[in-house]
Each structure stands twice: as structure tokens, then as C-alpha cells.
Amino acid sequence: MSTAEETAGGEAQPWGEVTPDAARRLLLAAVEAFAERGYHATTTRDIAGRAGMSPAALYIHYKTKEELLHRISRIGHEKAVEILRTAARAEGGPAERLADAVSSFVRWHAGGRTTARVVQYELDSLGPEARAEIVGLRRQVDAEVRGIIEEGVRSGEFDVDDVPGTTLAVLSLCIDVARWFNVHGPRTPEQVGALYADLVLRMVGAREAAPAQR
């Protein structure tokens, strides 16, 4: 399994929606190259070589290097929205759902750290149109977490004066895991997820800590 096919919280990230197989191989190669060298330092020849293909073969499936980054970013952000939306709409009170959202989001960033680094930190490499689409998905990510926090404030479970600022802090905490997490380190993605869920509940002043169940 390549680093771009890592698992997050036991869930495989096979990029199965990318077809045919050659297009998927190129995308996996691009993820690894972008994570290792950065978008601007990576050439189409680098990507094709990692996929065991010729540079000419790449253009059959992707017109430009930016198209590859755009597809990686879109799929990754759609997954992020799905993770947080599932937690936000689950049963349970705000504290339980916020803990679940944070734990799941952290596990995704830790277990799929190579992909997550590209998804989260290469936004400015996209052109205006592609960037606007990804920014829209990021707003959905923000809205899911903000909605849970707002509900907790309304119900009296959370003590938060600045909901937008706190939402940004929570998301930044989760996303940064992709930057530092080491698969050979002392903690598993699940352990980091549980730790961060507890930290976030303390951040919002939750009356009762509700450990994530997923």
C-alpha cells in the first residue's frame, strides 16, 4: 500500500472513485510527489515516472498538473465534509457529537497524513476557478463544526463567546495533525483522536466530557 493509500481510523482510502486504473495510479503518484516535493517543484515527468508511465500517457487522463491537484483537493474536501456531516447529524447531544466530529476528523488527518497534507496545504497552488470551488467546500466543513458549537451554546452545554473564532481554532487543531503525525510515533490515530476530542470539549467549556464512540 502506498502512502497515498493510507488508512484513517481503520478506513481505507483507496481512491476507488477514480477510474480507469491508469488515472488512479497517476493520482496516487501525484499525491506522493506533491507531499514530498511540493506542487510547484513537482513536474509532470516526476508524476508519470512514479506511476510507471510516460509523460505523454499522463495527458490522456489529465490535461494539466493543476487538474490533478484540483481532483485530489476536491475528493479530499468532499470526504472531510462527509466525515463532519455524519458526526453533526448523528444522535446525541452537542458534546457527544462534537467529540465524535473531532475524533473522526483527527483520525482521517493522522491515518491519511500524506494525502491530507496535499489537500489542506496546497490550496493556493490552484487557479481562481478551482480554488473557489475548494473554498466553497471548506465553508461547508466550517459550517458543520460551527453548527454543533452553536447548538451547544444555545442549550447551555458550551460556554463560548466567539463561535466563529472557536470553530477556526478547532479545525486548525485537527488539520495540523497531518503536518506532524508520525506513524512510528508513540500514539495511534485513534489515541490522538481521543485526546483531541477531550481537549476540544475543554476548549468549549463542555459541562460533561463525552468521549467519541467511533
Q: What 3 state SS string does 81-134 have?
A: HHHHHHHHCCCCCHHHHHHHHHHHHHHHHHHCHHHHHHHHHCHHHCCHHHHHHH
Cβ pair 123, 73 in contact under 8 A: yes
pLDDT of residue 1: 46
Note the pLDDT of residue 17: 85
List the domains of the chain with CATH numbers. 16-63 (1.10.10.60), 65-204 (1.10.357.10)
| Dihedrals phi, psi of 89, to nearest 5 degrees | -100, 10
Q: Write down the pLDDT at residue 214.
A: 43
Query: Would you state the pLDDT for residue 10?
Result: 37
Cell of 62: 489529465
Tell me which residues of the chain have a pLDDT lower than 50: 1, 7-13, 210-214
The residue whose grid cell reads 491515518 is: 111
Name which of 189, 194, 186, 165 is nearest 177 in CA terms.
189
Whether 21 and 126 have beta carbons less than 8 Å apart is answered as no
pLDDT value, residue 3? 58
d(CA 164, CA 187): 30
Q: Report the amino acid identity of residue 209.
A: A
